[in-house]
Amino acid sequence: MIVLVKANVLTVGLTGRHSDLKELPVRLVGVETGKQATCSLKNERFDSIVSNWDLPDMTDGVFLKKLRAFKPNIPIIAVVQSGDKSQEIAARSMGASAVLPADASDELFRQTVADILGLGDVRSIKEIYAVAEEAEER
C-alpha cells in the first residue's frame, strides 16, 4: 500500500516529540538547533515548522522570530515551557499559528499539527493500514 505524503514538516529541538508525528501522512525532517534549521530551510521547502521556543543555540524564541521575518507566511507551531505565560504571549505576538505547552499530550500535539496543515480529516497512517487490512480480509 502506498501512503501519499501530504506535507513536509520541519521539527526543531523536538527530539522526544518528533516521533509523535510519525502517524500523520507527512514527511518529517528533525533537527536540534536553529543553525541546522536555517540550513534545512535554505535547501528544502517546508509546509510547516514545529519548534521549541528555546533552542540550544537560540534561546528566547530568537529562531522563531527570525523565521517569521524570513518566511512570514509559513505556519509555525511554537512549543513553549509549560506554564510560562510570557513565552506563550511572545509566541502569539510574533504570529505563531499555534502555541503548545511542552507537556501537551501526544494526541493534542498530533491533532494541532494536523489541523494547522489542513489534515484534520485525514486519517493517520495506522488507520489507513487498518482499513486496507480489513478490506483485504474481506
- Going from the C-alpha of 107 to that of each of 24, 103, 115, 126, the distances in angstroms are 11, 11, 12, 14
Phi/psi for 30 (5° steps) reads -115, 130
pLDDT in tens, 60-71: 999 999 999 989
Beta bridge partners of 51: 12, 78
pLDDT in tens, 76-105: 999 999 999 999 999 999 999 999 999 999
pTM comes to 0.83
Domains by residue range for the chain, with CATH: 7-137 (3.40.50.2300)
The interaxial angle of helices 34-43 and 62-70, nearest 10 deg, is: 20
